[in-house]
Chain A
Amino acid sequence: MIKRGFFALVTIFVAITINFFLFRVLPGNAVTDLSRVPHASPALRHALLTEFGLDKPKWEQYLIYLNNLAHGNMGISFANQQPVSHLLLADLKNTIPMVTLGTVTAIVLGVFTGVLSAWRRGSAPDHASTNLAISAYAFPTQWLGLMLLILFAGTLPAGGMSDPFLFTAEPFWQHLADVGKHMILPAVTLMLTTYGSFTLVTRSSMLETLGEDYVLTARAKGLPARRIVWRHAVRNALLPVVTLIALELGFIVGGAVLVEVIFSWPGIGLAMYSAIGQRDYPMLQGGFLILTVSVILLNFLADLLYFRLDPRITA
C-alpha cells in the first residue's frame, strides 16, 4: 500500500518533469509570440525574457518551476496576467460537478444494463442493450454533442453554465436550478459517450462470472436468482470494471475538453482549449499537470478500492 503510494508520487514527479520539458522543446518560445506586437524591440523581448525567467539555463528554470509548484505557484497566465492556480481552481470547480454527474450516471447505467444483459443473455432486451451500447460507444463525442444541441437547443440552455440575466439577489436555490439546467446537455453527452464501454465490459465480465462454480454453488443452495446475481456474481464481476472506471475517469477530465467546448462549459477543458489558441503556456502546463495528477491519483484510488473489493490481493 505504502509502496503503491510511493510509486504514485514518483509517477507524478516524472509527469511534472516531462510536462516542463515538453513545452520547452516546442519550436519558438512564449516570448516570440508575446513580443509580436507593433514596435516590438529587442529590448522588450529581453525584458519579457527576464520577466518570465526564460533567460536562465533550463535546469535553473526547472528548479525554480519545482520550487514554485511546491508553494502552489503555477505561474502567471500570459493571456490575462492572473495566477494560473487561481484560474484553474475556478475552472476545476466548474468541471468537477458536470463530469461527476455525467460519469456517475454512466457508471450506474452501464453496470446496471451490463448486469441485466448478462443475466438475460440472448433475450431481446440483451440484444437491444448491447447494440445500443456499441452504437453509443462508437459515436464521436462532438457529433453526439452537436446532435443533442440541435435537438434540445430550444428546450434546454445550449451553452454556458448559468443565465447571465439571473441576478445575484435571487435565492440560492434558483441559481442552483439554473446551473443544473445548463448541466443537463453536457452531462448527458458525456454519459452517452462513456456508458457503452461500462455496459460491454460489465456484461462480458458478468457472463464469465455467471459460469463460475461458486455461482452454481449459490444456485444449489437454493438462493433466489436476484441474490445470486447481485451478491455473488456482481461483486466478482465488478473487479475488472473498477479498473476501467479508474482509467475512464482520468480520461474523462481530459476528454471533457470536447464536451466543454461544444457547450461552452467554463471548465478546465475549455480553458485548455482557449490556452492553446492563445499560446498561454503556463495555463496549458497547469492544465496538463492537473490532468496527469488526476489520472495518477484516480488509479491509486482504484488500487485502494481493489484492496477492499478483492481479499486475495494483499499489499
Chain B
Amino acid sequence: MSLLEVSDLHVWFDLPQGQQVHAVQGVSFALDPGERFGLVGESGCGKTTTILAMMGLLPPSATVSGAVRIDGQDVLAGGEDSARGYRWKDIAMVFQGAMNALNPVKKVGWQIAEPMAFHGVATGAAARRRAGELLELVGIPAAAGERYPHEFSGGMRQRASIAMALACQPRILLADEPTTALDVMVQAQILDLLTRLSSELGLALVLVTHDLPVVAQTCGRAAVMYAGEIAEAGPMETLFHAPRHPYTRLLFAATPDLYGDEEVVSIGGAPPRLDRPMTGCPFQPRCDVVLDRCAGQHPALRLVGAGHEAACHHTEDQAQDRTERVGST
C-alpha cells in the first residue's frame, strides 16, 4: 500500500450559465514516503485543481469524484469535517506566491504555531518554541517569527510558508509552483530545501509546476498533464530521454537549454476547451504525428515500460507492431 494514492480523480466546475467544465479527468498516481513527484503542464491543465481537490479545498461550485487515500484511508469520503482532520496533519501545502499565502496582519511565528493546537501537536509556549525550530530548519533565525510577513523578502516568505507547512509533521507535502515568483538564485535554494526536507523527514513531495527544469532538478518521477488528464507519467529520466507522448517530447523541445544549441520550438495552437465533451485525443489538434484514429478515439493511459505510462495511440501501434512481428515470425 502506498502512502498516498490518488485514483480516478475527476473535478467538474459549475459555470454560471449552467454548463460544466471537466477540469480534471481521471487523474491517478501513487507516492511512497520520501518520494518526489512532479506534476507538470501548461496553465489551465488542471494541476493546481488536482492538488486542491486532494485537500478538499475546492470552492462549492466544484464537484469531485474519485478517491484520495492516505495509508489506504479515503480522505475525502467523510466530508468537510473529516477532511479538516487530515489537512496539515497528514497532508500540508506550500502555496504559489508566498506573499499572499501569509496573513499580513499576523506575526509569522504565530501563523506557524496556529495549526499545532488544532491538530494536537503542541500548544502555548511549546508551539511557539516549535515554530522557532521550524524557522531555523528552513534557514531563518527563530527570532524572525516575531516579525510580520511584509518585513520578509520573497525568498524568506517562501521559506516561512514551508516551515508553516511542516508545523504538524505532515507526511505529504504538496507544493504549488513554490518557486514561480522568485528569482533564479532563491529558486534554487528553495528547491534544495524541499529536496533536503523530503530526504531528511521522509516527506512525500508533490511538486506542481509548469517549469520542466525545476521538476528535472527535484523529482524522481513526474506526470505530464494535458487538458485535465495525465498524458504521460514515469521516471524523470525516461520522460526526458524516451518520451512516448508527442506532448512530452514537444514540451521538452519548448524548454530552452543553456548548454545545447538546439532551437526552442514552441507548440502551436492552444489546449482544448474543457466545457464541452471531447472525442478523440485532446492533444490531436496540436500534435505533429496525428494518426487517423486520433480524432475519433480517445487514447487510454497504458503501461509502456517499467513504471512508464502514456496515453497515445502511437504506443498501441508499437505494441501492436511488436505483437504482429512476434506473430509473423
Residue numbers of A with Cβ under 8 A of B are 212-214, 216-224, 232, 235-236, 309-312
Contact = CB atoms under 8 A, between A and B. Distances in A.
Contacts of A219: 57, 87
B104 A312 contact: yes
A307 to B, nearest CB: 12
Which 3 pairs show the lowest CB-CB distances between chains A and B?
Answer: A222-B87, A213-B100, A221-B115
B94 to A, nearest CB: 10
Contacts of B87: 219-222
B2 interface: no
B102 A214 contact: yes
A213 B93 CA distance: 12
B150 interface: yes
B104 A222 contact: no
B88 to A, nearest CB: 5
A309 B105 contact: yes
A220 B175 CA distance: 12
5 contacts: A221-B88, A222-B87, A222-B115, A310-B105, A311-B148
Contacts of A214: 100-104
B86 interface: yes
A309 B105 CA distance: 7
B57 A236 contact: no
Residue from B84, B102, B105, B161 whose CB has the most chain A CB atoms within 10 Å: B105
Interface in B174-225: none
Contacts of B164: 217, 221
Nearest to B167: A221
B85 interface: yes
A222 B118 contact: yes
A223 B92 CA distance: 13
B114 interface: yes
A223 B115 contact: yes
Contacts of B95: 213, 216-217, 220
Contacts of B102: 214, 217
Given A220-B92, A221-B114, A221-B167, 6 more contacts: A214-B102, A216-B95, A219-B87, A221-B118, A224-B118, A311-B150
Interface in B46-105: 55, 57, 84-89, 92-93, 95, 97, 100-105
A236 B104 contact: yes
B266 to A, nearest CB: 30
Contacts of A311: 104-105, 148, 150
A89 to B, nearest CB: 39
Nearest to B100: A213
A219 B144 CA distance: 24
A220 B94 CA distance: 10
A232 B115 CA distance: 13
A222 B85 contact: yes
Nearest to B60: A122
B129 interface: no
B314 interface: no
Nearest to B107: A311
Nearest to B147: A311
Contact of A224 (B55, B84, B88, B89): B84
Contacts of B103: 214, 217-218, 232, 235-236
Nearest to B119: A222
A213 B104 CA distance: 11
Determine which residue in A216, A236, A310 has the highest number of CB atoms from chain B within 10 A of its CB, and name it: A216
B104 A220 contact: no
Contacts of B100: 212-214
Nearest to B83: A222
B101 A223 contact: no
Contact of B150 (A217, A224, A312): A312
A212 B150 CA distance: 16
A309 B104 CA distance: 10
Contacts of B55: 220
Nearest to A227: B118
Contacts of B106: 232, 235
Contacts of A235: 103, 105-106
A208 to B, nearest CB: 12
Among B85, B92, B101, B103, find the residue whose CB has the most chain A CB atoms closer than 10 A: B103
A289 B148 CA distance: 41
Nearest to A213: B100
Interface in B142-180: 148, 150, 161, 164, 167
A222 B84 contact: yes
Given A213-B100, A311-B148, A312-B148, A220 B57 contact: yes
B49 to A, nearest CB: 13
A218 B57 CA distance: 11
Nearest to A239: B105
A217 B84 CA distance: 12
Contacts of A223: 84, 114-115, 118
Given A213-B97, A213-B100, A312-B150, A222 B105 contact: no
A309 B103 CA distance: 13
Contacts of B104: 214, 236, 310-312
Contacts of B161: 217
Contacts of B88: 220-222
Contacts of B167: 221
Interface string B112-140: 00110011000000000000000000000
Contacts of B118: 221-224
Given A310-B105, A311-B150, A216 B57 contact: yes
A206 to B, nearest CB: 15
Residue in B88, B92, B97, B119 with the greatest tally of chain A CB atoms within 10 Å: B88
A232 B85 CA distance: 19
A214 B103 CA distance: 5
Nearest to B90: A222
